[in-house]
């Protein structure tokens, strides 16, 4: 036994033998989760309702405005309230903290309840919705004063301005946290109310935009809502993809993208809404802000079953997809395009063949050489999945285009997950090499020889000292079963002898 083999045996003895067979569907789910974590998703940002501010309104005057709220003079009261609204509507560094510290929030909430004075009610709603756009502590302060049920009640009014401000407040509260979002939709018919507002205001762009944004925030705030609560929103968002307003399309796309990251049931509901072809159309839109969530949604759908992947393919997904690689694209779009394809390669061999025939797999292999790590990693997932799920002929096609050496850098990744997936790819390749050898009636695994010649074996040897048990076991398995140089040399010499004997006999 060689020194290296003794080292492997000693290392292997430290671990128990636990089998772990990854199914294709499980792997696809794992990949989706991994990629999702790596995404720089469009951050849910609170929005402040900003208006032009008249001269002479300064935070130093806040005590005067606070005093004016208790005035018996309606004009002074209204002007004071309006000035406070001006302060919390500042575009940069609004003094929300100072306003809250002045202890006027209960008074403002009382004004919100005052349906007898519409102008005062509007100003109060505006102030409170903008305070909710502040920090999490600012938002929770108002939530503890029961502002949520008040905003929900205002949705029933036949007053577009007040309804818009109530929606604004709810949207800001919802994107603060899943906990606060759930407080809005629990024990109320809030989602249905907002859907009705959307349906009744198709021609009122101002309220429609805010209502769609609010509903989108309910979906996009993590964790994802239970299917029973969100399924009624899917047809609404699907329909809104056809709207002419860019922001409405963007908010609808992001909501669908989040839903597509759910279960197969979530994905099937999106497919049933008949929006796949529209989403494919949107990935070629001139706006990057539309392209990215549209790609994210389609990629999410293709994290589902093979049947669901096929629906996307049959809808024309790959017809013009090569333009993402042949035309200059922002890196954010190209990354998203690669990510979507990586989920497709988690499908079956027939689906992978589409990528080969359309020239897309060739581009993924080229992108694995890019110095831009974030782009390289997306291409890596796509190629890796194709190796794991493809036929031996498809794997050979990839290896003919330097697939072996393209995988090598990922053996040195700082991420254990990437190393493990890379080792699994090499293991699959070596098993295929063995199958080819058996078909030819020989024991020489040509892929084993190539891996040794390219120095990949040395990188795998180093992983036998890795801190992760699963990586040590995988690398050990590969080395012992497929990369035994002495064994390969013996078979090669035996083959040569046999050939010489056949030649002599002839």
3-class SS of residue 319: coil
Q: What is the pLDDT of residues 142-180, one digit of tens each?
A: 999 999 999 999 999 999 999 999 999 999 999 999 999
Q: CA Rg, the chain, in Å?
A: 30
d(CA 69, CA 67): 5
SS3 413: coil
pLDDT tens per residue, the chain (506 residues)?
Answer: 554 445 444 433 333 332 332 344 455 445 444 443 334 345 556 777 766 655 568 999 999 999 999 999 999 999 999 999 999 998 888 999 999 999 999 999 999 999 999 999 999 999 999 999 999 999 999 999 999 999 999 999 999 999 999 999 999 999 999 999 999 998 669 999 999 999 999 999 999 999 999 999 999 999 999 999 999 999 999 999 999 999 999 999 999 999 999 999 999 999 999 999 999 999 999 999 999 999 999 999 999 999 999 999 999 999 999 999 987 889 999 999 999 999 999 999 999 999 999 999 999 999 999 999 989 999 999 999 999 999 999 999 999 999 999 999 999 999 999 999 999 999 999 999 999 999 999 888 999 999 999 999 999 999 999 999 999 999 999 999 999 866 555 544 554 544 444 333 32
Nearest-angstrom CA–CA distance, 439 and 194: 64
Q: Which of 312, 289, 290, 316 shows the shortest CA–CA distance to 300?
A: 312
Within 10 A of 247 (CB to CB), how many other CB atoms are there?
16
- The phi and psi torsions of 220 (rounded to 5 degrees) equal -80, -20
**What residue spans of 302-415 are helical by DSSP H?**
306-314, 323-326, 331-344, 349-357, 360-367, 373-389, 392-400, 403-407
How far apart CA 172 and CA 188 sit, in angstroms, is: 18
Contact partners, residue 168, CB within 8 Å, separation at least 6: 47, 49, 129, 210, 214
Measured in whole angstroms, the distance separating CA 438 from the mean position of its chain's CA atoms is 43
Topology (CATH level 3) of domain 45-188 = 1.25.10
Report pLDDT digits (tens) over 410-451.
Answer: 999 999 999 999 999 999 999 999 999 999 998 889 999 999
Report the C-alpha gap between 168 and 129 in whole angstroms.
6
* pTM for the structure as a whole: 0.87
Those residues whose C-beta lies under 8 Å from the C-beta of residue 72, and which sit 6 or more positions away, are none
Question: How is the chain split into domains, by residue range?
Answer: 45-188
Cα–Cα distance measured from residue 428 to residue 171, given in angstroms and rounded to the nearest whole number: 48
């Amino acid at each position: 036994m060689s020194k290296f083999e003794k080292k492997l045996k000693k290392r292997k003895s430290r671990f128990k033998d636990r089998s772990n067979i990854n199914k294709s569907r499980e792997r696809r789910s794992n990949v989706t989760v991994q990629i999702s974590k790596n995404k720089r998703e469009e951050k849910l940002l609170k929005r402040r309702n900003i208006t032009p501010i008249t001269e002479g309104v300064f935070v130093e005057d806040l005590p005067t405005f606070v005093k004016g709220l208790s005035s018996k003079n309606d004009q002074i009261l209204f002007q004071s309230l309006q000035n406070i609204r001006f302060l919390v509507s500042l575009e940069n560094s609004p003094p929300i903290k100072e306003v809250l510290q002045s202890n006027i929030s209960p008074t403002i909430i009382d004004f919100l309840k005052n349906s007898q004075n519409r102008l005062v009610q509007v100003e109060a709603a505006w102030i409170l919705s903008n305070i909710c756009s502040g920090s999490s502590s600012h938002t929770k302060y108002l939530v503890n004063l029961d502002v949520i049920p008040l905003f929900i009640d205002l949705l029933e009014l036949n007053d577009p301005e007040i309804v818009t401000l109530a929606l604004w407040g709810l949207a800001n509260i919802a994107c603060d946290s899943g906990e606060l979002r759930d407080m809005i939709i629990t024990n109320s018919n809030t989602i249905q109310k907002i859907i009705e507002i959307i349906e009744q205001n198709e021609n009122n762009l101002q309220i429609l935009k805010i209502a769609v944004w609010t509903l989108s925030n309910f979906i996009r705030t993590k964790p994802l809502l239970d299917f029973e609560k969100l399924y009624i929103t899917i047809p609404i968002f699907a329909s809104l993809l056809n709207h002419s307003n860019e922001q409405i399309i963007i908010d609808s796309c992001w909501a669908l993208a989040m839903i597509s990251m759910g279960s197969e049931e979530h994905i099937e509901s999106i497919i049933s809404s008949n929006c796949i072809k529209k989403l494919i159309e949107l990935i070629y839109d001139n706006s990057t802000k539309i392209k990215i969530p549209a790609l994210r949604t389609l990629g999410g759908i293709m994290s589902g079953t093979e049947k669901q992947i096929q629906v996307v393919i049959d809808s024309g997904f790959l017809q013009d997809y090569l333009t993402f690689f042949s035309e200059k694209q922002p890196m954010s779009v190209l990354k998203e395009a690669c990510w979507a394809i990586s989920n497709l390669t988690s499908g079956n061999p027939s689906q992978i063949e589409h990528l080969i025939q359309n020239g897309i797999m060739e581009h993924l292999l080229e992108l694995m050489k890019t110095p831009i790590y974030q782009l390289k990693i997306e291409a890596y997932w796509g190629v890796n999945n194709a190796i794991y799920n493809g036929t031996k002929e498809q794997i050979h096609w990839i290896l003919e285009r330097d697939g072996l050496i393209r995988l090598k850098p990922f053996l040195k990744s700082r991420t254990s997950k990437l190393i493990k997936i890379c080792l699994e790819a090499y293991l699959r390749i070596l098993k295929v090499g063995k199958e080819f050898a058996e078909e030819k009636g020989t024991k020489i695994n040509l892929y084993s020889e190539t891996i040794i010649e390219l120095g990949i074996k040395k990188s795998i040897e180093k992983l036998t000292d890795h801190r992760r048990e699963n990586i040590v076991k995988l690398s050990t398995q590969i080395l012992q079963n497929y990369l035994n140089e002495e064994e390969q040399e013996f078979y090669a010499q035996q083959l040569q002898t046999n050939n010489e004997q056949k030649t002599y006999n002839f």
